[in-house]
A and B are shown apart, each in its own frame.
Chain A
Amino acid sequence: MQALKSALKEIAGKHGLGAATFVGITVMIWVIILIALPQIAMLDYSFRFNLPASDVGGPQDVYTLENYAYFFQGNDGTVNTLDIGILVRTLVAAVFVTCIDILLCYPIAFILAHSATGVAARMMVIGLIVPFWVNEILRAFAFRVLFGATGLINGVGMSMGLWDQPVDFIRADVALYSGLTYAYILLMVFPIFNAVEALDRNQIEAARDMGASWWRVHWRVVLPVAKPGIASGATMVFMLTAGALAAPQILGGPSSLWFTQLIYQWFNESANWQRGSAYAVILLIVCISFVMMLMRVFKVSIGEIGR
């Protein structure tokens, strides 16, 4: 509290009382009304029964663990393998997509920072950004055009005689993984780029002069510098992939659901907001603890994200 007051005083001294009031009130509203209270409301909601509107606030409106119990046990008390399986599958797929993104983006970020110069570098930056001004839905749609039963890949493959029946890429989730990999590339490239750019070229030259092979240079010199960038990018890509809704809805196979789709179903198809909230809380907790665990393992702090 004391620190907050002194900070506000500092701002008032530097930028005027008006600015200080504006900063204080705005940040307060943002943190409390927009960030904290909704999360608390959702948490509270997830512990309640799904009652008709007339009973809300009545004697039946008590706290319950039923919504969470359903996630673990289903209706009949046995282990709810279906929902737990979907959650695990979502997490594994998100990790998989994140790893592919790291493998794709690390070389590009390095090339952009140290090999490309002048016009080429600028064209690369523009080329990286422009596809991401196109709507997320349309990007997913592009992959559907590419991978559909009558899509280009099937068309080319069949006309070249590689296979004679259309391959169902959508059911095999190839389309989904490619689409997700594509969707968040930008969020991986720029953090790694920012980190690698800080590396002094002389260090690379020195390592090479001493006879290190190229992979050794990357492993011992470049990677340690890139690590915070990779961690930051990986956190964002993982969280966004695990929380993605549009791409799984458009590109996902009919038999495989994403966990967010499950939440969506509880809200929009079963009209059970309470259970949907409980599932959202589960997703949030699982994702955050997973990221925290990885950050502990790789010794990175959350303050480095978004730089």
Chain B
Amino acid sequence: MNRGTGGGAVAAGFSLLFFSFLFGPLIIMVITAFNSSSFPRITPWECFTTEWFGVLFANDRLMSGLLNSLVIAVSVVAIAVPVGLAGALALSELSSRLRAVLYTVLITPILIPGVVLGISTIVFWGALGRSVGAEYGSFFFSGMFLTLAGQVTFVSAYAMLVFLARLQRFDPILTEAALDLGATPGQAFRKILLPFLAPAIASAAFLTFLASFENYNTTVFTILSGNTFTTALASKVRHGTDPSLSALAVIIIGLTLIGAIVHEAYTRRKEVLRSGIARRSRIYSNPVLKTLVHPLTVFLILAGVAAFAAYEGTRHDASVCKQQILDDKRARQHELLEEQRRKMQEQQKTVAPVVSPSEGPAKANPSPFGGAFSPNGLTPGQNAPASSGTPAEAPATANPSPFGGAFNPGALKPSP
């Protein structure tokens, strides 16, 4: 049926590619959380370990940032949802011309770069604080307050979009009927409109929480010298990474999946119950299966699995395997060293007597740095042809040190 519109196999193939692009990086990151290698990677695989979770929880900066983030996110939800609702209500009542103007104004905080929002917020409140002569420690200069102000500015617009979408489906006749039946406007608002908007309030709250919690561009300016979870995370990623971040991703993705599955169970159940096919459906007529697909059961099962995995994880001990890897590495290192020493001795025997001043050091040099640190590199005489082959070089040519003679007392001595 999809032939001719790019459907069928092509569509399936494209979707597959698309979703592997979407999930591939996340899956790989999750896997790296369990590799004992100190850089997040899959190849080469070293040991299965759960120690990175411990490293993660021991990171004080991240954990205090998490607390800040939660406080900010909850406050942002408490402010942005009513503000967004007010914006949506105002838009729904304005005449079309004014509506377009106000819509443009209210939507701009989403569109302008978060960096710009952050800067304008700290500049404005700072100037305001100075002009009223506020102390430096007052809230005008507090990172938490500034972050709240900066985030509410644009997060409210997200909430507003959610409410607008829901309000479009609201039938104003309902309010009119309530008014005709003797309700006061306030009662109609509380008893008709707000209950109608309840699902939108829930999804707006969720969306604003997420937007606040994840925000980086604005927060990195407004938090000043403080830290939120996201800014602490970003500075950690920028200054050297280790798999504890992957461990964090495992936790977040796990929570996300549990949330998504429970939500899916919830909507399906609601849909089935509402459409009335519940009695005919096989799953819902069987009492055991029915309780099994109840969202609460689903949640309990998933939470149980997660808790069990976490418990098993804390008991897992990778030290034996890690010791093994370490020993392997040492043995290999030792082997290489032996080999080098042997080669060096051979070379010394054959090359040393006939060494020519220009080529000698490179050949006889056993250093893995390929002679970059060879004494000649540091002798000023090297590049000046007039002084090549001066006595200062002679003792260094057969230098057996792995450092290539960098510590040779003659190396830094200016040639006569």
* Binding between chains A and B: yes
Main secondary structure of the interface of B (DSSP, over half): helix
Contact partner of B185 (CB less than 8 A), chosen from A15, A128, A140, is A15
On whether the beta carbons of A214 and B98 are closer than 8 Å, the reply is no
A–B complex contacts, Cβ < 8 Å, 11 sampled: A34-B149, A41-B124, A104-B21, A107-B14, A111-B11, A115-B11, A126-B260, A126-B264, A135-B213, A141-B29, A280-B115
Q: In the complex where A23-B86, A26-B83, A111-B15 touch, is A236 in contact with B115 (Cβ < 8 A)? A: no
Contact partner of A41 (CB less than 8 A), chosen from B28, B106, B123, is B123
On whether the beta carbons of B112 and A243 are closer than 8 Å, the reply is yes
Q: Check: A299 CB closer than 8 A to any chain B CB.
A: no
Q: Check: B256 CB closer than 8 A to any chain A CB.
A: yes
Chain B positions within 8 Å of A38 at CB level: 117, 120-121, 123-125, 153
Q: 8 closest A-B pairs (Cβ-Cβ)? A: A243-B113, A16-B186, A155-B43, A38-B120, A16-B185, A26-B86, A142-B25, A41-B124
Q: Check: B237 CB closer than 8 A to any chain A CB.
A: yes
Residues of B within 8 A of A (CB): 2, 4-7, 11, 14-15, 18-19, 21-26, 28-29, 32, 39-44, 82-83, 86-87, 89-90, 93-95, 97-98, 100, 102-117, 119-121, 123-125, 127, 130, 149, 152-153, 156, 161, 172, 175, 179, 184-189, 193, 210, 213-214, 216-217, 220-221, 229-230, 233-234, 237-238, 241, 245-246, 248-249, 252-253, 256-257, 259-260, 264
- In the complex, per-residue mask of A75-106: 1 if CB is within 8 Å of any chain B CB, else 0: 00000000000000000000000000000100
Q: In the complex where A19-B185, A138-B252, A140-B237 touch, is A124 in contact with B216 (Cβ < 8 A)? A: no
Number of interface residues of A (CB under 8 A): 110
Q: In the complex where A243-B217, A245-B220 touch, is A107 in contact with B252 (Cβ < 8 A)? A: no
Query: Which residue of chain A has its CB nearest to the CB of B185?
Result: A16
Chain B positions within 8 Å of A13 at CB level: 185
Contact partner of B184 (CB less than 8 A), chosen from A16, A142, A143, A212, is A16
Main secondary structure of the interface of A (DSSP, over half): helix
Q: In the complex where A41-B127, A42-B123 touch, is A135 in contact with B214 (Cβ < 8 A)? A: yes
Chain B positions within 8 Å of A267 at CB level: 119, 221
Chain B positions within 8 Å of A227 at CB level: none
Q: How far is the CB of B141 from chain A (nearest CB, A)?
A: 12
On whether the beta carbons of A245 and B185 are closer than 8 Å, the reply is no
Contact partner of B25 (CB less than 8 A), chosen from A145, A155, A222, A284, is A145
On whether the beta carbons of B119 and A146 are closer than 8 Å, the reply is no
On whether the beta carbons of A141 and B123 are closer than 8 Å, the reply is no
What would 7 more interface pairs be, CB under 8 Å, given A145-B29, A148-B41? A40-B124, A107-B11, A115-B11, A145-B41, A146-B24, A239-B113, A306-B107
Q: In the complex where A42-B120, A127-B23 touch, is A137 in contact with B237 (Cβ < 8 A)? A: yes
Query: Roughly how many angstroms separate A273 CA and B230 CA in the complex, as a whole number?
Result: 23
On whether the beta carbons of A16 and B6 are closer than 8 Å, the reply is no
On whether the beta carbons of A155 and B185 are closer than 8 Å, the reply is no
Q: How far is the CB of A60 from chain B (nearest CB, A)?
A: 16
Q: Check: A305 CB closer than 8 A to any chain B CB.
A: yes
On whether the beta carbons of B98 and A236 are closer than 8 Å, the reply is no
On whether the beta carbons of A3 and B106 are closer than 8 Å, the reply is no
Q: How far is the CB of B394 from chain A (nearest CB, A)?
A: 37
Query: Roughly how many angstroms separate A19 CA and B23 CA in the complex, as a whole number?
Result: 45
Q: Check: A230 CB closer than 8 A to any chain B CB.
A: no
Q: In the complex where A23-B90, A111-B14 touch, is A214 in contact with B5 (Cβ < 8 A)? A: yes
Q: Check: A12 CB closer than 8 A to any chain B CB.
A: yes
Query: Which residue of chain A has its CB nearest to the CB of B25?
Result: A142
Q: Check: A62 CB closer than 8 A to any chain B CB.
A: no
Query: Roughly how many angstroms separate A134 CA and B253 CA in the complex, as a whole number?
Result: 7
